Each structure stands twice: as C-alpha cells, then as structure tokens.
Amino acid sequence: MNSFMQQSPLELTLALDQIDNPSTILPPALLIALTTSLGSFFTCLFAYTIFDKESVKGKISLQLFMNALKNIAMAFLALTIGVILGILLTQLHTHIPFNSWYLLLLFIFLIGIELAFTHFNRTWLSWKILIVPLAAFIGSCLAGFLNYSLLGHEFTLNEILALGQGYGWYSMSGILFTQLHSAELGGIALLTDLFREIVAILLMYTMGWRFPRPAISSAGATSMDVTLAMVKQSCGTHYVPHAMMSGLLLSLLAPLLITVFLNF
C-alpha cells in the first residue's frame, strides 16, 4: 500500500520535470483537483443523507479515529519519502521507470481472496450503490461551474468541465486531452488527476472510516485499482464491491465524458 503512496509523488515530480513552465499550470490543476474531489465527497454524502440516512448515522469511535490518525501518519511518511526520492532522481538526472502494475495486481489478487471468505449481504446490490459514481459525476460538474467563475478568464466552460471528468485516471486524461485539444491542457489534465488521486487517498484515510461511500466517490476511477487497497484498509472489506463498481463505471465513462465536453 505504501508503494502506491510513494508512486504518486514520484510520478508527480517526474511529470513536472517534463512539462514546460509547470508553475503556470499547477494552480488550476490543484484547484480543479481539490474542488472536484471535495465536490464528489459532499455530493455523495448529501445524497445518502436523503436516500439512505442510516448509512451516514453512527457515533464516532475513538479507536477508529486513532487508527485513522495512524494511517494518516504512515501515508504522509510514505508521501514524504516519495517526494524526496523523486527530487533526488531529478537532481541526479536519473530516469528509472516506475511501474507498480504487477504489485497492484498482487494487491487486487489478495483482496479477491479475502472477498471470497467474506460474507456480504444484498445491500451492495441495491440501486443505491449507483449513487457513488453518480455523485462523483454531479460533484465534479458542480465543481466545474465553481472553477469557471474563478478561471473563466483562462479557460472556457467546456474545457473546465472536461478537466473534471478524468476521475484520477491521469494516464488516460493527459494523453486524451493532448490529442483532442492541446499539450497545455493535456499537462493540466495530467497534473489534475495526479493531484486528485493524492487528495482521494488523503480523504480515504481521514474520512473513509466514518463516511466510506463519499470517500469512495471522491476516489473516482482509482477506486477500482490504485486506491482499492486503501478502501479495504480505511473503509472495510464490505465496501470493496462498492469501490470496484464505482471505479469500473467511471473508468468506462471518463474517456466518453471528456470527449463529449470538449466537443460540446
């Protein structure tokens, strides 16, 4: 799990090193990442407050809170190590291809084994599970309108809305935006979804133990793979199917939604 925490800052550092004038695209990327992640979280929380009040009720457990603090500390430690390693590699002009795909597959394989021995009730098959990805879409769009009021002098509304539809899938969004629009917007999309993945991980550790579905919603497409291990650790094994369903749907929709918004 910590390998993924280290991978994101490493990839972020290397990505910044390859982008011309990264300082000009960092602010909008960070703003869009924060607003879309938080927009997804609170939209999902609001939706479940209306449609399934029992799922957002409950008392705060001191033990769970302390476990969350422990996970946050470990996550920040891994994040710091990753940033330092990335900076050192950049300073030394050393390029090492980072590919944690096989490690990710191993994590998913182990989670699958645990799922086979876990008893699930039928609640996760309910239509309410679709609220998680739907809230991610609505929250990202609402955040897009907010971002347009702040960045409207730099980007059009359809560009900002499209930038919110990557759902953390930076390897796809960066390439797609570059092909469909421009290298500049491709760089912003790449950084936006890298930041969005990091924000999702932080939300998972800080709020996942108390509000698992909203935390999964904020993770977007990454809940199916990169953040799946965090879902299991922070939210519980019971919510793994929610994460996989949400991540799958958003992964299928992300390229389509980006294309539609850019050509709207």
What's the confidence (pLDDT) of residue 252? Answer: 87
Q: Is 261 helix (H, G, I), strand (E, B) or coil?
A: helix
Q: Does a structural domain hold residue 73?
A: no
Of 83, 82, 75, 78, nearest to 206 by C-alpha is 75
Alpha helices of the chain — where are they, by DSSP H? Answer: 2-18, 22-51, 62-91, 101-116, 131-151, 157-163, 170-180, 183-207, 212-219, 228-230, 240-262
What is the pLDDT confidence band of residue 144, given thresholds at 50, 70 and 90? Answer: very high
Q: Give the chain's domain count.
A: 1
Q: 46 vs 23, 139, 214, 230, 242, CA distance in Å?
A: 35, 11, 9, 23, 17
How many CB atoms are located within 10 Å of the residue 86 CB? Answer: 23
Q: Does a structural domain hold residue 80?
A: no
Q: Does a structural domain hold residue 36?
A: yes
Q: What's the CA gap between 144 and 51, in Å, rounded?
A: 25
Query: What's the domain range around 249?
Result: 24-54+125-263
Q: What is the DSSP letter of 117?
A: T
Q: Does a structural domain hold residue 220?
A: yes
What's the confidence (pLDDT) of residue 75? Answer: 62
pLDDT digits (tens, 9 = 90+) for 56-79: 554 555 665 666 667 667 766 776
| pLDDT over 60 (residue 99) | no
pLDDT digits (tens, 9 = 90+) for 74-85: 766 776 787 787
Higher pLDDT, 156 or 119: 156
What's the confidence (pLDDT) of residue 186? Answer: 84
Q: Does a structural domain hold residue 95?
A: no
How many CB atoms are located within 10 Å of the residue 132 CB? Answer: 29
Higher pLDDT, 115 or 136: 136
What's the confidence (pLDDT) of residue 56? Answer: 54
Q: Does a structural domain hold residue 175?
A: yes
pLDDT averaged over every residue in the chain: 79
Q: Does a structural domain hold residue 67?
A: no
